[in-house]
Amino acid sequence: MKIAVPRMGNLSLIIRDLAWRLGLETVETPVFSEETMEIGSALAPEFACLPLKAVLGSFVQVLELGADTLVTGGGHGPCRFGYYGEIQRRILEREGKSFRMVVLEPPSVGIKAFHDSLRSLLPREHVRLGVLLNELARTMSKVVVFDKLEKRAMALRGLETEPGATDEALAEAQGIVSGAYTRKEIEVARLEAEERMRQVPVDNARPYLRVGLVGEIFVVLEPFFNFDIEHWMGRRGVVVERAVNIADTVVPMGRNPVFGYTEQAVAQAAEPYLSHEVGGDGLLTVGASVIFARRGFDAIVHFLPFTCMPEVIAKGVLSRVAAELDVPILSLSIDEQTGRAGVETRLEALLDLAWSKRKFVRGLAESRARA
Partner 1 sequence: MKVGIPRAMLFHHYGEYWLNFLETLGVEAVVSEATTPDIITSGAVHADNETCLPVKVFSGHIIWLKERVDVVLVPRVVSEQYGTLACPKFMGLPDLARALDPDLPPVLAPRIHLADRRYLWAREWYSVARALGGTRLASASAVAGLLYGLEKHRVQARARPAAEGMTVGVAGHLYNVHDSRASLGLLDRVKSMGANPVTVDQVVPSRARMQAETLSRRIFWGYESRLAGAVLHWSRTRSVAGILYVTSFACGPGSIVGALLEDQLGREGSVPLMTITLDEHAAEAGLITRLEAFIDMLRRARRSSPGGLSVGGAQGVRS
Interacting residue ranges for partner 1, rule: CB under 8 A: 44-49, 76-80, 82-83, 85-87, 90-91, 94, 103, 273-280, 282, 306-310, 312-313, 315-317, 319-320, 323, 333
CB of 50 to partner 1, least distance (A): 12
Q: In this structure, are residues 230 and 9 in contact, taking their beta carbons and an 8 Å threshold?
A: no
Indicate the DSSP class of residue 202.
B
CA torsion through residues 117, 123, 126, 132, sign: negative
Q: Which is nearer to partner 1, 18 or 334 (CB)?
A: 334
Indicate the DSSP class of residue 271.
T
CB of 43 to partner 1, least distance (A): 10
Q: Which is nearer to partner 1, 299 or 313 (CB)?
A: 313
Identify the three-state secondary structure at position 187.
Answer: helix
CB of 70 to partner 1, least distance (A): 15
State how far the Cα of 168 lies from the Cα of 311, in Å rounded to an integer.
34
CB of 314 to partner 1, least distance (A): 8
CB of 273 to partner 1, least distance (A): 6
Q: Which is nearer to partner 1, 93 or 203 (CB)?
A: 93
Q: Which is nearer to partner 1, 108 or 161 (CB)?
A: 108
Starting at the edge strand that comes first in sequence, how are the strands of the sheet with 2-4 ordered? 25-26, 2-4, 69-73, 100-104
Q: Which is nearer to partner 1, 16 or 76 (CB)?
A: 76
CB of 243 to partner 1, least distance (A): 18
CA dihedral of residues 258, 263, 266, 271 (deg, nearest 10): 170
For 4, 70, 86, 322, the CA distances from 92, given in Å and listed in that order, are 15, 11, 10, 43
Identify the three-state secondary structure at position 81.
Answer: helix
Q: Which is nearer to partner 1, 1 or 87 (CB)?
A: 87
